[in-house]
Structure 1
């Protein structure tokens, strides 16, 4: 189980952050769970008005996250799921999403929560989606990571003045 050893992010007041959540549309049940987890984290961290944007699939996440980062968002959270099939499509989409989201973070110096599940089976995705009976809540975890990172980046910017 990949959740072993995960850090516990204590919610911190993040009401002053501009936050966007970008969510893919494939695999509705999994995506509903990831979005619900993100919403719980946003509430726990006191973010009251996040922007939520839907895109067709995980491949489209980086370009929309990049546009949001460029427009001044402090944190962007990318939520999606790619389930292995019988073609190399899985590897291409997973690599493109991961490399694209990394570029967004580095090119814009913005916090990016990578909540893109890359699973061999639908059962694995459901187990990570934060649904009743799931063992993990990756929507919550990705959002919390982005918010904690955004706070850290803001404090670093403040200390370099």
Structure 2
């Protein structure tokens, strides 16, 4: 598990309009990821994030793109894909990852990457930010997106 070495990202993102786009599969894991993202947003001064549910991880890019186009400053995309016995895992993981990257690059809106791709339920729970979890990937995704938003805002202000 690669949790060691994560940066401490602390920014003031007051005034940022943030959408949390979360898939609907694996409720316990998703509840932890959403709670972690909400904690990070609150700590950064974001008072009213909007939670939008997507059917699954494959749908995260399209819903995230719609949020970016609707005027959100930051999108935090959260999902979980657990490996099964078919190639479905690879296809969905690649499509969602590539799609979320494309949304950020095409729109210029930071997209926090909180998509867990795990071999089993235990790995997902261990990354979900729940009591007893070793990592909080929802928090990390929100912090990274907010930090990117602040960096881009500051770069624009320097022009």
Q: So what's the TM-score if we normalise by structure 1? A: 0.97
Deviates more, 1:13-22 or 1:125-134: 13-22
d(CA) in 2 for partners of 1:62 and 1:159? Answer: 31
Range with greater deviation from structure 2 (26-35 or 68-77): 68-77
Question: Residue 51 of structure 2: SS of its match in structure 1?
Answer: strand
Q: Distance in 1 between matches of 2:14 and 2:8?
A: 20
4+ runs deviating over 4 angstroms: none
Q: In the alignment, what sits opposite 1:2?
A: 2
In the superposition, the TM-score normalised over structure 2's length comes to: 0.98
User: Does residue 146 of the first structure (1) align with residue 145 of the second (2)?
Assistant: yes
2: CA distance between counterparts of 1:151 and 1:139?
A: 19
5+ unaligned residues in a row in structure 2: which ranges?
A: none
Q: 2:100 aligns to what SS in structure 1? A: helix
SS of the residue corresponding to residue 96 of structure 1 reads helix
Output the CA distance in 2 between the equivalents of 1:91 and 1:122. 17
Residue segments in structure 1 that go unaligned for 5+ positions in a row? none
Aligned to 2:90, what secondary structure does the other structure show? helix
Aligned-pair CA distance for 1:13: 1.9
- What do residues 69-94 of structure 1 show as CA deviations (whole Å, max 9, x unaligned)? 11221110000000000000000000
Number of the residue aligned with 1:58: 57
Aligned length: 159
Q: Quick check: 1:108 aligned with 2:85?
A: no
Per-residue CA deviations over 1:2-47 (Å, capped at 9, x if unaligned) read 111111112x221211110000010000000001101100110110
Cα shift at 1:158: 1.3
